[in-house]
Amino acid sequence: MTVLFVVDRDANSAGAPTRRQVIAALTEQKAALQRERSIRQSMAAAQKQSLSTQLATLTTQHDHLAAQLKNDDTTLPVMRAAMERLAGASAQHLVPDSVYQNQVFAFTELLGQHAQFQQASLTVEGKMADVRSQLGTFDDNLAKELSQTDRAISQLDQQIAEAQASRAIEVLAPSAGTLTAVRAHPGQAVAQGAPLVTLLSGDASLQADLFVDSASIGCLMDVHRLLQEKGGTLRLSGLQPRVETMISMTGVHKIVPLHRDEEGALAAFGPASGAGR
């Protein structure tokens, strides 16, 4: 189809962002996402290594605590037995009571430390489980995040393409014919559904109501005078009623003959009158 009219949406924004501005904003968003993706991917190896280092450190702590607890498991029964023996000896006044009290204090202190080591060991085991979980799902989570970013970038690409495609609207001729009028000019704001052009199809005839002002009457008289100087004659035919009325009111019909149709005008020239028609 033939292009009849092109509407530049950048030139007709009506206060809203132009297509160019929309495309620029979308392109900036896309660039930001691409930078974010690049940073996330480049930091992934360091983050994974950091998790591995944390796990190694926690494992070392856990091993030390396990060794201490194992040692306590050996020491506490011995101290408990010694405390019980001293309790009997103190009751028989074989040893001073202060010796027994010192043994009780030492046993109680070691028992409290043992409980703290047990709690610390449980805390470290919980942290180790959390870090192992993060390491186990790290690659899958990274792939998921990158995939989400890629989808967002793809959506922006589609929006950019749509915005670029809509920067200009082409109005195509629905059928072959003759362009008779352009009803808008570049930069003019038009309402939806407003006619932009008038197209006359190839198998139709053009009918128009003409407004004849004083300048047009003067032009007709100039043409009549020029033809007379060349030995010709001006005749008018097929006039619209309003035009014929105007010509009659000004008396031009007395100088320029009027005819109902083209055949009548041609017949009035006569068979030998070919020039100046």
Angstrom distance (rounded) from CA 173 to CA 1? 6
23 and 127 together in one domain: yes
pTM reported for the whole predicted model: 0.51
246 and 129, same domain (yes or no)? no
Could you report how far apart the first and last alpha carbons of the chain are, in Å? 39
22: tokens are 């929309």
Average of pLDDT values for 211-225?
73
Predicted local distance difference test score (pLDDT) of residue 169: 63
Q: Are residues 131 and 68 in the same domain?
A: yes
Q: Are residues 151 and 237 in the same domain?
A: no
Is the confidence at residue 267, as pLDDT, over 70? yes
My answer on whether 232 and 162 are in the same domain is no
Q: Yes or no: say if 238 and 43 are a contact pair by the CB < 8 Å rule.
A: no
Asked whether the predicted pLDDT for residue 210 surpasses 50, the reply is no
Q: Which two tokens stand for residue 270?
A: 């006569």
106 and 25 within one domain:
yes
Residues 118 and 244 both lie in one domain: no
In contact, 171 and 3? CB cutoff 8 Å: yes
Q: Is residue 78 part of a domain?
A: yes
Residues 27 and 108 in one domain: yes
Nearest 10 degrees: Cα torsion 215, 216, 217, 223: 110
**What does the pLDDT average to over 127-137?**
97
How many separate domains does the chain show?
3
Answer yes or no: is 8 within a domain.
no
CATH number at residue 232: 3.30.750.24
pLDDT of residue 193: 67
Q: Stretch 258-275: mean pLDDT, rounded? A: 76
Identify the pLDDT of residue 209. Answer: 44
Could you tell me if 251 and 193 lie in one domain? no
CA angle 261, 267, 273 (to 5 degrees): 130
- Does residue 139 sit in the same domain as residue 254? no
Q: Where are the alpha helices (DSSP H) in the chain?
A: 19-91, 97-165, 214-229, 241-249, 262-269
Burial profile 175-193: b = 16 or more Cβ within 10 angstroms, e = fewer: eeeeeeeeeeeeeeeeeee
* Positive/negative CA dihedral, 213, 215, 216, 220: positive
Tens-place pLDDT, residues 9-55 = 565 555 566 778 889 999 999 999 999 999 999 999 999 999 999 99
Q: 164 and 261 share a domain?
A: no
Q: How many residues does the chain have?
A: 277
Q: What is the pLDDT of residue 13?
A: 52
Mean pLDDT over 112-116 rounds to 95
The beta-strand segments (E) located in the chain are 3-8, 168-172, 177-182, 197-201, 236-237, 258-259
Task: Using alpha carbons only, give the angle 92, 95, 96 rounded to the nearest 5 degrees.
Answer: 110
Each residue of 146-194: pLDDT tens digit?
Answer: 999 999 999 999 999 988 877 766 667 666 766 666 666 666 666 766 6
- For residues 133 and 242, membership in a common domain is answered with no
Domain holding 116, by residue range, is 18-168
